[in-house]
Amino acid sequence: MAILLFLIFLLPLPFFLFILLKHGNHGCNLPPSPPALPLIGHLHMQLFDNSYPHVFLWKLSQKYGSLLYLRLGCKPTIVVSSAKMDEEVLKTHDLDFCSRPDQRAARRLSYNAVDLTFTPYNNYWREMRKVCVVHLFSRVQQYRPIREDEVARLMDKICRLSDDSKPVNLSETLMCLSNTIICRLGFGKRYDDEGSERSRFHGLLNETQAMLTSFSFSDYFPLMGWLDRLTGFHNRLEKTYKELDTFYQELIDEHLDPNRPKPEENDIIDVLLQISKDGGFPFDLTTDHIKAILMNVFVAGTDSSAATVTWVMSFLMKNPKYLKRTQAEVRSFIGKKGFLNEDDIQSLTYLKAVIKETFRLQPTTPLLVSRETLRRCNIGGYEVPAKSLVHVNAWAIGRDPEVWENPEEFCPERFIGSSIDYKGQHFELIPFGAGRRICPGMRMGVATVELALANLLYKFDWEMPPGMNEDDLDFDALPGIATHKKNDLILVAKKIYD
């Protein structure tokens, strides 16, 4: 089968050569690049390297520089790996770099890019971003009761496990927490922990993430898109699309049911249906648009916060000195409170420093900040072709030796008294990206991370399961859009008071 595929792949060789010549160097001064193979360019390199994509690209940048050129099939690709270069790309030249690549799975699952995340930069994106920021992402405070209620329920669940001397699978419980928060604020539903609807949602989310990160021939060899049918990519994508579409349609139908009780707080579907009814959007806001935005909120909003809290807990367990210090700060409320709310958290400067340090160090896929150049431009003395795929490697930037002292160390103190934050003004720390496309859900994401983490440390002491110690903690990551820990983080919680 593999040989057959390879032969089929070689058939349109003349077309390829034509395209390569068309997209070739043509004497332009491209950034440094490793040697490439004919046709596939550098696509094979990742295949034969066992490292994670962020580590693999970082290693290449150490050899070729912080602005690196790769050719992935027919797609010119730029990799950015230093604070200085990402400032060039995300600030100085943001307008040239603020589009998104047209990728097959993303296009299909976003109803032909009528969403916010996968839409190219144009007037439509600007209007869509405005509507989403004003009506959805600014509602951080309105959704505060949902976050506080869900974190309180999580604490109760961990208390019960602690009473029964059972270990806590933090990776799993934190995923459940952020899924539940998104389901409640997205479509006003709270699924049972073990119910079939929850596993349906979870399964759909995993499949969507898998499709968005799977290899498709059409993304790198536009004339070979038909090979996606032979590899099974096409059928899998269509199946995922149909299942997701049915899921969204059921939710929208429930919201349109005149007998539905009026909710206390409008969820995202309510808000979008209202905008569509009022005509408050310069383009038609159809059901497809609403479904596409829901996909963005699910994909971007669920895993990332859960993954971050799990990484923070892993780093703290590995570094007990910092765990104790964070707990000491959080526990200044003892005797006054049973639960820390979002007001209490504002004063927790050390906890915030720990979160920043985790953002700097946690494994992050370079896919997260994936852009496309709108036009040909000059960066750092090099030319970047129009329609280049751009990967900004936030993880590599977090260890840029020009800005970080001892970049390998976990040291939250580096942020105490420092003005550096992750809000898009400091290009050495960009977990949420920067510039026009910066994550609009940052405040929502951070609110969940801070609240969950503060209460986990406030209410419990944490230990490794019996027979294990901190040397058994690993920091292996899973590939995906949000980078999760490969092995679940399982710890024992000890209640510090009743």
Which residues contact ligand HEM (rule: CB under 6 A)? 116-117, 129, 296-297, 300-301, 304-305, 308, 368-369, 431-434, 437-441, 444-445, 449
Nearer to ligand HEM, 201 or 221 (CB): 201
* Nearer to ligand HEM (CB atom), residue 273 or residue 297: 297
Structure tokens at 385: 């072709």
Residue 67 or 174: the one with the smaller Cβ distance to ligand HEM is: 174
Alpha carbon distance 267, 248 (integer Å): 14
Question: Measured from the CB of residue 398, what is the shortest distance to ligand HEM in angstroms?
Answer: 12
Nearer to ligand HEM, 116 or 151 (CB): 116
Tell me the residue ranges of DSSP E strands in 388-455: 389-392
Cβ(286)–Cβ(276) below 8 Å: yes
Question: Based on CB atoms, which residue is closest to ligand HEM, 273 or 368?
Answer: 368
Q: 407: Cβ–Cβ under 8 A, 6 or more apart, which residues?
A: 398, 399, 400, 401
CB of 442 to ligand HEM, least distance (A): 6
Residue 294 beta carbon to ligand HEM: minimum distance, rounded to whole angstroms: 11
Nearest-approach distance from CB 127 to ligand HEM, in angstroms: 12
Closest distance to ligand HEM from the beta carbon of 368 (Å): 4
Helix (H, G, I), strand (E, B) or coil at 412: helix
Least spacing, CB of residue 469 vs ligand HEM, in Å: 29
Nearer to ligand HEM, 234 or 391 (CB): 391
Phi first, then psi, for residue 76 (nearest 5°) are -65, 135
Q: Which amino acid is at 14?
A: P
Choose among 469, 488, 485: nearest CA to 477.
485
3-state SS, 172-198, equals HHHHHHHHHHHHHHHHCCCCCCCCHHH
Select 130 or 337, whichever has its Cβ closest to ligand HEM: 130
Name 493's bridge partners.
462
How far apart (Å, rounded) are the C-alpha atoms in residues 80 and 90? 10
In this structure, how many other beta carbons lie within 10 angstroms of the beta carbon of residue 86?
Answer: 27
Q: How far is the CB of 430 from ligand HEM (least distance, A)?
A: 7
Do 297 and 179 meet the contact criterion of CB atoms below 8 Å apart? Answer: no
